[in-house]
Amino acid sequence: MELLIRQETSADYTAVFDITQKAFAQLEVSDHTEQFLVERLRASDGFIPELSLVAVCDGKIAAHILFTRLYIVTNDSRHESLILAPVSVLPEQQSKGVGSALINHGHEVARGLGYSSVVLVGHKDYYPRFGYKKLSGFGISIPFPAPDECCLGLELVPGALQNIHGIVEFPPAFLPH
Ligand SMILES: CC(C)(COP(=O)(O)OP(=O)(O)OC[C@H]1O[C@@H](n2cnc3c(N)ncnc32)[C@H](O)[C@@H]1OP(=O)(O)O)[C@@H](O)C(=O)NCCC(=O)NCCS
């Protein structure tokens, strides 16, 4: 399979909507509205065009990933970070390394842009392979109930999440509309 990863353009929006809808369609933990989350995040303050990426497999868009800026808030400071959400691979292209390639590529782009960490709420058995660790281990919490092992963070720069004892401030785009 020929795999190309590039920045999303507005010409990709329809395909990305379709991919996101199909990727999450069978997922029990999903409310099946992630395609609208992508639209809200694109329109939000924290949107970073360089971190909305598509994977083109044999000439066809097959996957999408989005990292959006947010802040981890402590008693006296705000630390810029990113949230990975969502990542979507068309069902027929899953388990072929496409999701991993998108995640690793996204991390490199994010590091190049100067970001030092990523947080997410997701599959506990998938993200540790990329270096994600429990947020609770860093002393970081999220403002809604979720299994501890699914609330994860990655230091793109070693030590970036050390000594930040705070709460992840989710952008309003994450609230159900
Ligand atoms: C999760 C997802 C992004 C992974 O991308 P992918 O291209 O299918 O995965 P890769 O080929 O990179 O990696 C395959 C590995 O991921 C594992 N994996 C895939 N989905 C998983 C899940 N939901 N939970 C745990 N592991 C998962 C596979 O078992 C496989 O493991 P192995 O390498 O030990 O055999 C993709 O399957 C997808 O879009 N799923 C539906 C939407 C979704 O769940 N998005 C993430 C929300 S947190």
Of 89, 124, 151, 154, which is best to mutate to test ligand 1, by the most ligand atoms within 8 angstroms of its C-beta?
89
Burial 13-39 (b: 16+ CB within 10 A, else e): eebbbebbbebbeeeeeeeeebbbbbe
Q: Which atom of ligand 1 lies at the shortest distance from residue 90's CA?
A: 39
Query: Does position 177 have pLDDT exceeding 80, yes or no?
Result: no
Cα gap 55→98, rounded to integer Å: 7
Q: What is the pLDDT of residue 8?
A: 98
Q: In the numeric block, which tokens belong to residue 29?
A: 């933990």
Cα gap 86→68, rounded to integer Å: 10
pLDDT for 135-147, tens place per residue? 999 999 999 999 9
Query: Does position 46 have pLDDT exceeding 80, yes or no?
Result: yes
Alpha-carbon dihedral sign for residues 106, 96, 37, 171: negative
pLDDT for 53-107, tens place per residue? 999 999 999 999 999 999 999 999 999 999 999 999 999 999 999 999 999 999 9
Q: What is the pLDDT of residue 128?
A: 98
Q: Which atom of ligand 1 lies at the shortest distance from residue 96's CA?
A: 11
Domains defined along the chain, listed by start = 3-170 (3.40.630.30)
Per the prediction, the chain carries an average pLDDT of 97
Q: What is the pLDDT of residue 2?
A: 96
Assessment of whether the complete model's pTM goes beyond 0.85: yes
* Gap from CA of 7 to ligand 1 centroid (Å): 21
Q: What is the pLDDT of residue 9?
A: 98
Q: What is the pLDDT of residue 175?
A: 81
Protein residue whose Cα sits closest to atom 48 of ligand 1? 122
Q: What percent of the chain has pLDDT over 90?
A: 97
**Residue reference for tokens 């999220």:** 142
Indicate the range of 4-8, 28-32, 115-119 predicted with least confidence. 28-32
Cα gap 107→91, rounded to integer Å: 23
CB 128 less than 6 A from any atom of ligand 1: no
pLDDT for 145-167, tens place per residue? 999 999 999 999 999 999 999 99
Protein residue whose Cα sits closest to atom 17 of ligand 1? 126
Q: What is the pLDDT of residue 68?
A: 98
Alpha-carbon dihedral sign for residues 170, 120, 55, 107: positive
Q: Which atom of ligand 1 lies at the shortest distance from residue 120's CA?
A: 48
Average pLDDT over residues 115-125: 97
Phi-psi region of 131 (alpha: psi -120 to 50; beta: other; left: phi over 0): left
Cα gap 118→107, rounded to integer Å: 8
Alpha helices, DSSP H, located in the chain: 13-24, 34-42, 98-112, 135-138
